[in-house]
Structure formats: structure tokens, C-alpha cells
Structure 1
Amino acid sequence: MFKSNFATAMILSAIALMGLGLHGCNFTSSNFAPSSQTTSSTPSLGDRYAFKQGGFSLQIPKGWQPKAIADLKYEAIVDPKAIAGFSNSINFIDEAFSGSLADYESANFQLAEKAFKNFKTIARTEFKTDAGASGIQIATESEQLGNRLRQVFFIVDAPQGTKLIVTYTCLAKDGDRFAPLFVASLKSLQFN
């Protein structure tokens, strides 16, 4: 039986992000895909950031910065412009799994449903990055550490039999204006 570190990573991410006072966004089916219109209050994409240890890169929101988080392999990308002590963020995990994206999703989201209070899937769709990598995009909602969170998971087939999971973890209130930015950032993902 496959034993995943996915649920553990979700918990560590939430603990680390709450400890940093990070917050995020509200994704619904209607705003799940990128929009051609953004408002001036929505940040744009900035520089490409390379995760050398993982062999991948993506464009991060303009002005956002990498931040090392204890017990996580990759840096989180955080918005330094905190509002009331919170900032939006992006985090990353990878895991060896040579099966299909659907098999990985099934194995892990069954665990997540049991691990988190009031866990529910809000939307699910398949996608391709601009470079052609296939993935599954899943928006969820759950209660963690006393907060109602939205987490959007992008599960991507990565090289050498691994899956890369890019997660946007947010409080469930400001997300409509950030959803197009997050999807655009993920679509810029490239493996070296």
C-alpha cells in the first residue's frame, strides 16, 4: 500500500504558514480558471524563480519573496505586504510516485478527507502548463489550526517518476482577485 507524505506536508505547511501569519484566497468554481481581466489591485507576475534542488522554476507574483520554512524541502513564496498580519503564499512538495495523476490524487485525497475537519473538494479540473506538463487542479476547503482555509493543489507529473504539488493556502475571503494570478503563475511552471 502506498504511504504518502502528502497529508503530513499539508499539515506542516499550514502550521508554518499560520506561524508566519500568512493568509490567502478564496477559490470557487466560477473563478477557478484565469480571467483575461485583472484589476489594478491584482499584482502581476514578476521574475522567474528557480528551485535548483527540485529542477523547476516558475514566475512568481511581482514583489513576492522566497522564505525558508523549517521541515519543508522548498522555500515558500510569500507576499511581504501583509494585511492585518497575513500574507498570501505558495508552497511546494514533491513525492516519488510512478503511477498516474488520478491514482496519486485518489490515494492522497482519501487521506486528506480523514485528516482535516470539515474537508471538502470545491472544484477539480485537468490542466497543462505553458510548457506542456500535465496536471490536476483541485480546490479544497477545510478547518486547520482554528482557521477556515482554502487550499488549491496543482498536482503535476514531474521528471523521474515524481509528482510535484504546488499549493496555494489561504484564508477563505480575499481570493477572487488572486485566483487568476495564481493560475497564471502555475501555468509558467517549467522543469529544467
Structure 2
Amino acid sequence: MNKKVDLVMLVFIISCVTLAIIPVGAWALGAGETGERVKTIFLAQADLEKIEKEETEKKQTEKPEGDESRGDEELLGKRIVLPEEGFSIQPPKGWQKRPPIMAAKFIVTEEPKQGFAANVIITFQKSDPVNLKHQAEVEKLLNGLKLSYAKMFTDYKLLGSKIIKVGETEALQIFNQFTQGVFKIKNVQIFFYNRGNVYVVTGTALQSNFAAYEEIFLASAKSFRFEKVIPKAAEVEEEFTISPPQDWQIEKDFMGAKVFLYDLPKEGFSANINVAVGPSPGADLRDKAALQKLIDELKSLYPKMFTDYKFMGAEVVKIDEVDALRISGQFTQAAFKLKMVQWVIFSEGKQYMVTAGALESNFDEYLPIFEKCASTFRLKRHSQPDTE
């Protein structure tokens, strides 16, 4: 028994646990690259006896060959939702969640075996859509993956591929094997195309024990679901926060705006949302006379600023439990016919103006996005100083 203990200790002392993954961005990650090393694990004789007992009991209760696969409830843990990334997944039961690294937004690992920790990861990045129903597009994708992976990994082989259904979503499933360092690796990847991104769920293990993990990898990957995105808030000078639409770019202090959010251009114009802040005596929007005066001032000002300006409407709404004036209009700017909607909020001697604009031709498409973004606007209230 002592010889067995020494052997186990030697394996863990010599071999740091490598996390081998293949995200679609064509990069690989090992434990050494993260700067993290797995601590040496010492197993006492009692621990080994316990393991041997558990393995014996497991063999006695294993289903005979030919039985149906285990149910997902036996294989998988509770669903984990990543609201900022817009997806959820059920990881293998009992596996440890790790911090995200670069493009790997989700990582779980099992306890190491033979010096290697089997793992499931999810990566995503911007991608042109791929129609998985068109064989030519699928073959082009597979050829690109084979070329990229062959440059990254020794002895790389694409073992197989097929189109599968995950819920109602078409996905590409592939199996790979390669050598990384001293390890001979095999994995399965499932590719999902959505929201202008490609999401890749990868399950990786040693070639020698991959068969023991294949069922659980596939069950976990097929539990992947897209969720409602709750993006991180953009915080500006401790004055306010606002949550940008998914995948939009953020600029601060841009052309007079404290924050400027914009989408990729369509028809030569980027739909955008900006927040401008300035001093103001304020206005009581519940006072009809004060409200009408403010609206008249804006209706008088905008035709001087914008060509062919047309006022479209105004109303008082609530944002962050504060009264806000919502005003909309349309105008021409250079060669573009535009529509915009604004929310004007007064607080503590300042005026906050949230302005959203898009082309007339696609304004209705963007309006729900504008409304949702504006609804996330939050003032950062300042506590009043103590007075004696």
C-alpha cells in the first residue's frame, strides 16, 4: 500500500494539471499560461482505502452494457445563468467552477486524473453567421477549423462532424484529437451561431479516458441555452449609470456627451445613444405651465439646430422613480433622414439628457432597444452632509 501512496504523490508532484481547450478563436490555454499551478496533493493511506472501497461499490452498481444512458439529472448539476453573457448551462455534477480567462467565459473542471483535469468551457466571439443547413458553408467552416487547429496542436485530427439539434437550435458538433505537451487529448465541441457571435461549448479529456466522459460532455453541452442579456452598466464620473445594449461600443466624453453608445453601422449610419449633462435650474414636470414652457422652448430650439426638424410628441414618464420628459422628433442631417427620442431629467441643479437616434428606415427596429436602455438610467444620489 505504501508503494501506491508514493506513486500517487509522484504523479501530482511532477504533473501540474493542464487545462486544454480549443476555443474558436484558435488559441489554446494551459495551466502554465495562466500563471496558476495546481497544488501538490498528498493522499494518506486511509484516503486510498476509501477510494478503493468506493471504486468497488461503483463497479458493483454499474449498469450492465446495453442499458440506457443515465438521465441528465444524474449527470448534471444545477443550471448556471450568466446574465451579462446571455447564456446558461448545466455543468457536470460536482465539478468546480473556475474564474473566466480571456475568451473563455465559463470554465468548470473535475478533480485531476492521471495529472489532467477534464473540463468543460464556453467561449464566444464575433462571427459572421454560418447557415448550417448549407453543406458548402459547413465544409468551408470545417476546412478553416482544420487548418487553424493543425497549426496550433501536434498530431491534430478532426475525427468527425455532424449537424445536431439542441432544443430548437441548429448546432455543429465536432470531435478532435491532438497532442498538447505530454498529454494526448480528445474533445468534443458544439458550435452555436446567434446574436452575431459564435458560441462554442468544449468538453476535453485525455484520449485514454475520453469514453468515460463523452456522455456527460454531450449532456452538459446540450443543456446550453440562450438567456436574456443583462449587460454591465457603464458608470460615468459617479454621476449616473446606464446599461448599454448588447454588443454596442462605449465611448466616454465624446463630442460633448458624457457617454456615447453606438451600434455597428447599417446603411452607412450607426444608431446611437448618448447622455449629456449640464447645469440647469430645473423644471417641475408635474406643473402643466412649466412643462409646456419647456416643450415650447425645445420646439423653438431644434429647428435652428436641425434641417427639416419636425416635432413628433412629448409626454412625462418615470425613469429611476424620477419624472422625465420624453420628446421625439425627426430631421435631416447631411444625407441622412433621422428620428430621435430624448429623455430629459432634472436633479440637484443639473439636466441629464438621454438622446437616442437612428435612420427613419430602421428607427422602429431600434426603438425597443432605445426604450430598454433609457429605462436602465440611474442617478447616483449623493448623501446630504450633516448639518449642525
CA distance in structure 1 between the partners assigned to 2:142 and 2:159 by the alignment? 15
Contact 1:93-1:164 at 8 Å conserved across structures: yes
The residue correspondences of 1:53-72 to structure 2 (distance < 5 A) are 53-72=84-103
What is the TM-score normalised by the length of structure 2?
0.39
The equivalent residue for 2:25 is 6
Task: Report SS of the residue matched to 2:26.
Answer: helix
Aligned residues: 168
> Which of 1 and 2 has greater Rg?
2
The residue correspondences of 1:24-103 to structure 2 (distance < 5 A) are 36-38=68-70, 44-79=75-110, 81-100=111-130, 101=132, 102=138, 103=140
Task: Report SS of the residue matched to 2:79.
Answer: strand
For the structure 1 residues 151 and 15, does the alpha-carbon distance in structure 2 shift closer, same or farther, using more than 3 Å as the test?
farther
CA distance in structure 1 between the partners assigned to 2:31 and 2:206 by the alignment? 11
The equivalent residue for 2:42 is none
Measured against aligned partners, the alpha-carbon deviations of 1:160-192 in whole angstroms (never above 9, x if no partner) come to 211101111211111222211111111111101
Contact 2:202-2:221 at 8 Å conserved across structures: no
More displaced 10-residue stretch of structure 1: 92-101 or 165-174: 92-101
For the structure 1 residues 155 and 14, does the alpha-carbon distance in structure 2 shift closer, same or farther, using more than 3 Å as the test?
farther
Give 5+ residue unaligned stretches, structure 1: 22-34
CA distance in structure 1 between the partners assigned to 2:69 and 2:196 by the alignment? 37
Aligned-residue identity in percent: 22
| Bigger helix share | 2
Instruction: Work out which of the residue numbers 164, 180, 187 in structure 2 matches 1:127.
Output: 164
**1:129: how far off?**
0.9
For the structure 1 residues 15 and 154, does the alpha-carbon distance in structure 2 shift closer, same or farther, using more than 3 Å as the test?
farther
CA distance in structure 2 between the partners assigned to 1:84 and 1:148 by the alignment? 11
Q: Which amino acid aligns with 2:184?
A: R
Measured against aligned partners, the alpha-carbon deviations of 1:135-173 in whole angstroms (never above 9, x if no partner) come to 111111111122111121111112x21110111121111
The equivalent residue for 1:109 is 146
